[in-house]
């Protein structure tokens, strides 16, 4: 029997979960390995992977398509509130000559997982396990291959439902015409259909 698709719900920003997700990543990954670009991508994969599996994001954040990959729109607002509560310290890490200093967050408090469901806690752990050891540059490259980023116009909001153009082996356990059609989607054709033929 084919796996059932989750019922998708509209995303609504949850500041409590957003703050705790940032604190979770900041405590689990050394500050020197957690630049702003990498943190952006961890939040993105947390929300979009969870949405793909369970039909709703964890934080409810809205992400836009920028050159370096998906960027959260409320991040600075959330960090300002965390700073005001003395739970994080925004800092800069010097890099070799020719590179701009890297913005990092140093945790001043631990995280609290009580706001998260069991499935959300599982996704948090999976996000660190799968992506935590990768650089911001590698995560940016990965996000550039993800259908929500690929199918969005520059600077546009990414559509959570475009995660259905990802390959999902759980949907191939039995006959499911919609899932089979999605698994065979050609992204290049989707882009051409949505935006017109792209220059070579």
Rounded distance between C-alpha atoms, residue 67 and residue 140, angstroms: 9
The pLDDT assigned to 118 comes to 98
Mean pLDDT of 103-122: 96
Question: Which pairs count as long-range contacts for 163-170, CB under 8 Å and 24+ apart, including other chains?
Answer: 163/48, 163/49, 163/51, 163/52, 164/5, 164/52, 165/190, 166/52, 168/52, 170/3
pLDDT in tens, 114-139: 999 999 999 999 999 999 999 998 99
Strand partners, 89: 106
The pLDDT assigned to 9 comes to 55
The pLDDT assigned to 173 comes to 46
This prediction has a pTM of 0.79
- pLDDT of residue 19 exceeding 50: yes
146, with CB counted inside 10 A (0-12, 13-18, 19+), is buried
- pLDDT of residue 27 exceeding 70: yes
């Amino acid at each position: 029997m084919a796996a059932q698709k989750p019922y998708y719900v509209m995303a609504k920003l949850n500041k409590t979960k957003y703050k705790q997700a940032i604190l979770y990543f900041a405590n689990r990954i050394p500050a020197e390995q957690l630049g702003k670009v990498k943190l952006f991508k961890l939040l993105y994969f947390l929300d979009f992977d969870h949405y793909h599996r369970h039909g709703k994001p964890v934080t409810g954040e809205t992400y836009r398509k920028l050159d370096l990959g998906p960027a959260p729109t409320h991040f600075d607002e959330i960090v300002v509130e965390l700073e005001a509560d003395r739970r994080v310290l925004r800092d800069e890490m010097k890099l070799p000559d020719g590179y701009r200093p890297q913005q990092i967050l140093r945790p001043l408090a631990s995280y609290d997982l009580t706001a998260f469901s069991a499935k959300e806690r599982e996704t948090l752990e999976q996000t660190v396990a799968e992506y935590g050891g990768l650089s911001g540059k590698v995560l940016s490259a990965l996000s550039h291959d993800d259908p929500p980023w690929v199918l969005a116009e520059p600077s546009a909001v990414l559509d959570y439902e475009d995660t259905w153009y990802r390959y999902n082996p759980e949907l191939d356990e039995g006959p499911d015409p919609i899932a089979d059609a999605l698994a065979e989607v050609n992204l290049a054709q989707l882009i051409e259909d949505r935006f017109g033929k792209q220059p070579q």
